[in-house]
Structure 1
Amino acid sequence: MERKNFRGILISLIILLFALTGISFGHDLEEARHNKNFVVKKSTVISIPESTSGKILYLVGKGTYIIEIYSLDKESTMYLDDGILDAKFSNKKYIDHAISAKEIKPGYYKFIVNTKRNTRYKHFYKTTINSGKIKVKITKLK
């Protein structure tokens, strides 16, 4: 009789251990747990922590600008959208109003924007298990 109780308790503890371990280690490693936004007015380097998502706001004045983004961390698992969006539009209108990159290479994006007023462009990103470091270069043409 004692042996059956001992086995029952032992089996219950093992099941409980697997259940608790599965819950604590079962979170999605690719899910962003933090939100962080960056504001870029001039050329700069941005360090983005792991498990973070958010947007990069590019502030440009009147005129034509080239915005270039370089990945400085080759081991990074950071995702950048292939387009930027004027901040006056909501995120739901992204597909209709996004400005696509003029050039995309591994670790490199190039956007050309022409504005008649001071404008903010938003660029969405997400990092996973590694942090990321990018260089943003903003150049004014004419």
Structure 2
Amino acid sequence: MDDAFPGAGIEIRVNGDRFETLMHQHGLLRPLTAAELSDGTLRYLLWIAALLTPRPPALLVLNEPETSLHPDLLPALGRLIAQAARQSQVIVVSHAARLISALDDSDGMQPVVLEKRFGETRIANLDMSEIPRWEWPAR
């Protein structure tokens, strides 16, 4: 949380039979309710919950996780994804250069760049022998 929103914190209150999410931010006189948060902030909070789950799945496939996020949040999202990749195999599909750059800075990440040539999608940056092994979890 602090990586993306320095000094901020999340509070979950029980309000009768409902839960209420509040975000405390430095400089604000009161916490913001979920209804007052931007779509991007809410989405980032959901990414935190999904990627830092106490029971991580064997495989995570993230399709354009940068959607609705402010560009300044993409490096923090990249670090969050890299942290999740220590426990799970993570495949990220993205067009966002800032997110890809943040992931490239992480140990163990292998970018696979795809390009379209004459209607055919090909791997642009690797030979077939260099393609990372995909390990599908057993059922």
TM-score (norm 2): 0.26
Question: Greater strand percent: which structure?
Answer: 1
TM-score (norm 1): 0.26
Q: More relative contact order in 1 or in 2 (CA 8 Å, sep 6+)?
A: 1
